[in-house]
Structures are given as structure tokens and as C-alpha cells.
């Protein structure tokens, strides 16, 4: 009986529950559906409104137009230091030296000497001795000899003296020629008179008015006049020939002198250039010179006479004042086609978390035409180091970070549609 009662009660409860559950809660369904649909619509509107721009992140470093310069050793040897770590230095100052046969004071003296020689047009003997220039000694001796040869030639003055003698001879010959020219005019007139007299006396003699002796005397005077005129004319023509020859000789001597002086000067200039080149190579090989005013920072703890290897980083010169804050950015080749000049950048510094300090803004100033190690190098224009949180970041060389390049302003909805659009276009291309 109990079992039958229990089964009856269960059936009754089931029917009651079914009656309750079988009733449809119309308002709940409508409200719930509306809420879900409204949420979906708002979500879609949000994806259309809120931007989700396309960007490319690249590494960048902040520097200046006068960045720090690291000095490397160009040869192996013992180093000699002339400055201390963190010492202020000036442009052109010798900071360190690798020991070698040349004495740096002698090399610098020779360099100054060459600078003074470069401005001279007339040279005097160097009169320098006992300079220890190492591998440059022979070139310096050649320079000394070339200057001595020049001075010897100038002091002997052989060709210039010959030129002066020829000029004097030329002048005297010209004067004699001019004098003879005047004499020829007079002699020619005198000869005409003698010819007239002889013709007259010949007629008088035929008429018997003068004697034979008088006629012969007139004839003798005519011969004398002719002889004098011919002799003077020959001398005149010889002088003309001599003058032309003197002109040729004078031109030859002057040309020889000019060529000789030029060759001597060229020899001096050639030795000056060669020695200058050797000094530059020597300084590059053995010395460390500050490129500008700044502060020395040793790459390691160096001591005098310590041995260094080739291409070892010795020290870095930090500029005393920064000129124009710029940035350099590495752009991967894979997505470089979307990056153009004047695109805006969002700069996040590694040393200054952007969530706390904010970001900087910049712009692409230029992009290299050829990639290097799978990267294009872009120069970044950074107007200020004040972040969007109004925080002034102190300048420090080689600050690194990430630059976000804004390629295109897109919404979330557009980003969702891009794969679909791409798929549709690809299918059309395949079908065609």
C-alpha cells in the first residue's frame, strides 16, 4: 500500500510541476532577448566607432646630431694615457698614444711645419735636425732635400742672369737697329744725290766742259756712297736676324726657368702631401684624439703601458653640449612598404615606463634607400622630450625604446572585415 501511495504522490507532483513549467514566461523571454540584441547592437556600434589603428612597432634609440664617439685601437701595443676617466677634453686634444718609434712632439712639430710650408711661395732651408719621426723619417729627409735643391737653384741664379744678359743684348741690338734704320734713310738720300751728280758730270764731260779726272772723282764718290749704303744695310739686316734669334733664345731660357722652378716646387709639394698623408695615417694608427669638446669615458680601467689589441674599444667621448635631439629607428624589411616619410610616431622609452611617465611624439624625417642587415634605417625628428604626461625626460645619449608607427586609422569593425574582404577578393581572382 505504501508503495502504491508513493507512486501516486510522485505522479501527482510530476503533473504539478509540469503544469507550472509548461507555462511560458512571455515577458522574461522578450526582455532577455531584447537585452541580448541591444548588447550585440551596441557591441557592433562600438566596433565601428572605437579605433583600432594598424601600427608597426620598431626599435629606436635617441641621440643627437653630435653623438658620442667611441675610439678604437687601430694597432696593437702598449698604451700611454694623457687623460683620466671623466676628464673634460677639448677638440683636437691628444688623449692617448700607442708606443711606437716616433715621438709625438716631433710629429706634431712636423705637422705645424707642413702647415706653414703650405702657405709659402718662396722657400728657405728647413734647418731642422734630430726629429724622431719613425717610419716618416725618409719622407721628411726627401722634403728637406727638395727644399735645399730649390734654394740652391734660386741662389745660384744662373738662368735668370743669362736672361738678364740676353735682355740687355736684345735692347742694345734693337737700339743699333733703329740707329741703322735712320742712317739708311740718310745714306739712301745721299746716294741719290751722288747718282744725280755723276749723271750731270757725265753729260758735262761729253760736252767737254769738265775733265776726265773730275768725272772719275764724281764716280768714286758714287761708289763710296753705294758701298756705305750696302754695308750699313747688311749690318741692319744682320741686326734684325740677331734680334729674332735673341727673342727665341730669351723665350727658351724663360721657359726653361719657369719649368725648372715649377718642377722644384712640384717636388716640394709632392713631398709635403706625402708627409701629410703619412702623418694622418700615423695619428690614425697610434693616437687617440678628441673629435670635439666633451668628457672622456674609459671603456675599461686602463693603465699606462698596458697592452691593447687591435680594434679594442678604448674610450668614448661624450659631447659637452647636445646639438639637436634626433632618433634612429630600425624598420624591418617585411613591412617597410607601408612606412613613409613624415608619418607620426608614438615613442615609448625603455627606461621610463609609459604607463607611469607617458609617451613622446615624433615624426619620420628620412628613410635609408638601401637596407642594412635586413633593416632600413630611419631618422626620427623629436621636437621635445616632454611626454604627454608633462614629464620632462632628461636627455641621455643612446636612450632606447619602441616606436609605434601609425600606418592606418581603422575601427574594430574594419579589422574584422579585412580577412573577409581579402578572402572574397582572392576567390574572385581564382574564379577569373
Please list the pLDDT of the chain residue by residue as tens digits (432 residues). 444 544 444 444 455 545 544 555 566 667 667 777 777 766 655 555 555 566 788 888 887 766 788 899 999 999 999 999 889 999 889 999 999 999 999 999 999 999 888 777 778 888 887 889 999 999 999 999 999 999 999 998 888 899 899 999 989 989 998 998 898 888 888 888 888 888 888 888 888 888 888 888 888 888 888 888 899 899 889 989 998 999 999 999 999 999 999 999 999 999 999 999 999 999 999 999 998 888 898 888 888 999 999 999 999 888 776 666 788 888 888 777 777 888 888 888 988 988 888 998 888 888 888 887 788 888 888 888 888 888 888 877 778 898 888 776 555 555 555 555 555 655 555 555
Are 307 and 392 part of one and the same domain? no
Q: Looking at the structure, do residues 125 and 255 belong to the same domain, yes or no?
A: yes
How many residues would you count in the chain?
A: 432
Instruction: Tell me how far apart the alpha carbons of residues 95 and 104 are, in angstroms, rounded to a whole number.
Output: 12
Q: Measuring CA to CA, how many Å separate 408 from each of 55, 126, 340, 345, 360?
A: 7, 71, 12, 12, 19
Q: Given this model, what pLDDT does residue 261 score? A: 92
Distances from the Cα of 140 to the Cα of 145, 272, 299, 342, angstroms: 9, 8, 36, 54
State how far the Cα of 312 lies from the Cα of 299, in Å rounded to an integer: 9
What's the helix, strand, coil split of the chain in %, to 5? 55, 20, 25
Distances (CA, A) of 72 to 57, 305, 309: 33, 17, 10
Integer Cα distance of 15 and 4 in angstroms: 17
Q: Looking at the structure, tell me whether residues 180 and 306 fall in a common domain.
A: no
- Are 99 and 244 contained in the same domain? yes
pLDDT of residue 219: 85
Which three cell numbers mark 208? 767737254
Is residue 111 located within the same domain as residue 173? yes
CATH classification at residue 379: 2.40.30.170
Residues in CB range of 220: below 8 A, 6 or more apart? none
Position 428 in a domain: no
User: Is 310 found in the same domain as 350?
Assistant: no
**DSSP H helical segments within 99-211, as ranges?**
104-117, 137-156, 158-206
Number of domains observed in the structure of the chain: 4
Please tell me whether residues 166 and 280 are part of one structural domain. Answer: yes
Domain-embedded: residue 138: yes
Sheet holding 287-289, edge to edge: 287-289, 94-98, 77-81, 306-308
Does residue 268 lie within any of the structural domains?
A: yes
**How many other CB atoms sit within 10 Å of the CB of residue 271?**
21
Inter-residue long-range contacts of 164-167, CB under 8 Å, 24+ positions, other chains counted: 166/246, 166/249, 166/250, 166/253, 167/250
Residue at 99 is within a domain: yes
Residue 147 lies in a domain: yes
| Same domain for 251 and 108 | yes
Domain of residue 344: give its range: 54-66+322-415
Claim to verify: residue 122 and residue 251 sit in the same structural domain: yes
- The verdict on 19 and 128 lying in the same domain is no
Q: Give a yes or no: residue 420 inside a domain.
A: no
Residue 423 domain-assigned (yes or no) = no
3-state secondary structure of 245: helix
Rg, the chain, Cα only: 53
In a domain, 379, yes or no: yes
Same domain (yes/no): 260, 300: no
**Cβ density class 334-373: b for 16+ within 10 Å, e for less:** eebeebeeebebbbbbeebebeebbbbebebeebeeeeee
pLDDT value at residue 74: 92
Specify whether the CB–CB gap between 328 and 376 falls below 8 A: no
- Among residues 141, 112, 111, which one has the least CA distance to residue 128? 141
pLDDT for 1 equals 46
CATH of the domain at 237: 1.10.287
Largest interatomic CA distance in the chain: 217
Is the domain of 103 the same as that of 152? yes
Distance, CA of 3 to chain centre: 110
Amino acid at each position: 500500500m505504501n508503495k502504491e501511495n508513493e507512486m501516486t504522490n510522485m505522479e501527482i507532483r510530476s503533473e504539478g510541476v509540469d503544469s507550472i513549467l509548461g507555462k511560458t514566461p512571455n515577458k522574461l523571454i522578450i526582455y532577455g532577448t531584447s537585452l541580448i540584441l541591444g548588447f550585440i547592437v551596441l557591441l557592433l556600434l562600438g566596433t565601428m566607432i572605437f579605433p583600432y589603428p594598424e601600427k608597426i612597432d620598431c626599435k629606436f634609440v635617441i641621440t643627437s646630431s653630435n653623438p658620442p664617439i667611441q675610439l678604437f685601437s687601430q694597432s696593437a701595443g702598449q698604451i700611454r694615457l694623457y687623460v683620466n676617466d671623466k676628464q673634460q677634453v677639448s677638440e683636437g686634444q691628444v688623449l692617448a698614444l700607442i708606443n711606437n718609434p716616433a715621438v709625438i712632439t716631433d710629429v706634431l712639430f712636423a705637422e705645424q711645419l707642413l702647415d706653414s710650408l703650405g702657405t709659402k711661395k718662396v722657400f728657405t732651408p728647413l734647418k731642422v735636425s734630430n726629429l724622431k719621426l719613425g717610419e716618416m723619417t725618409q719622407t721628411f729627409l726627401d722634403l728637406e732635400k727638395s727644399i735645399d735643391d730649390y734654394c740652391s737653384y734660386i741662389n745660384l741664379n744662373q738662368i735668370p742672369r743669362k736672361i738678364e744678359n740676353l735682355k740687355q743684348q736684345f735692347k742694345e741690338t734693337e737700339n743699333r737697329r733703329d740707329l741703322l734704320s735712320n742712317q739708311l734713310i740718310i745714306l739712301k738720300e745721299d746716294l741719290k744725290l751722288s747718282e744725280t751728280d755723276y749723271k750731270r758730270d757725265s753729260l758735262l764731260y761729253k760736252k767737254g766742259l769738265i775733265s776726265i779726272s773730275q768725272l772719275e772723282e764724281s764716280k768714286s764718290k758714287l761708289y763710296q756712297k753705294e758701298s756705305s749704303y750696302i754695308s750699313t744695310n747688311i749690318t741692319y739686316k744682320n741686326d734684325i736676324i740677331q734680334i729674332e734669334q735673341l727673342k727665341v733664345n730669351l723665350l727658351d731660357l724663360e721657359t726653361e726657368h719657369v719649368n725648372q722652378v715649377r718642377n722644384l716646387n712640384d717636388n716640394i709639394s709632392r713631398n709635403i702631401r706625402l708627409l701629410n698623408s703619412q702623418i694622418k695615417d700615423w695619428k690614425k694608427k697610434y693616437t687617440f684624439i678628441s673629435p670635439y669638446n666633451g668628457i672622456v669615458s674609459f671603456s675599461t680601467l686602463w693603465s699606462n703601458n698596458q697592452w691593447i689589441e687591435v680594434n679594442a674599444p678604448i674610450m668614448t667621448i661624450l659631447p659637452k653640449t647636445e646639438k639637436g635631439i634626433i632618433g634612429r629607428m630600425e624598420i624591418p624589411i617585411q613591412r617597410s612598404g607601408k612606412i613613409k616619410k613624415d608619418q607620426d610616431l608614438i615613442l615609448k622609452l625603455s627606461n621610463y615606463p609609459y604607463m607611469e611617465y607617458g609617451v613622446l611624439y615624433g615624426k619620420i624625417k628620412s628613410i635609408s634607400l638601401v637596407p642594412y642587415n635586413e633593416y632600413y634605417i630611419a631618422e626620427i625628428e623629436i621636437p621635445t622630450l616632454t611626454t604627454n604626461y608633462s614629464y620632462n625626460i632628461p636627455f641621455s645619449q643612446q636612450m632606447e625604446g619602441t616606436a609605434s608607427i601609425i600606418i592606418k586609422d581603422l575601427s574594430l569593425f574594419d579589422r574584422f572585415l579585412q580577412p573577409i574582404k581579402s578572402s572574397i577578393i582572392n576567390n574572385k581572382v581564382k574564379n577569373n
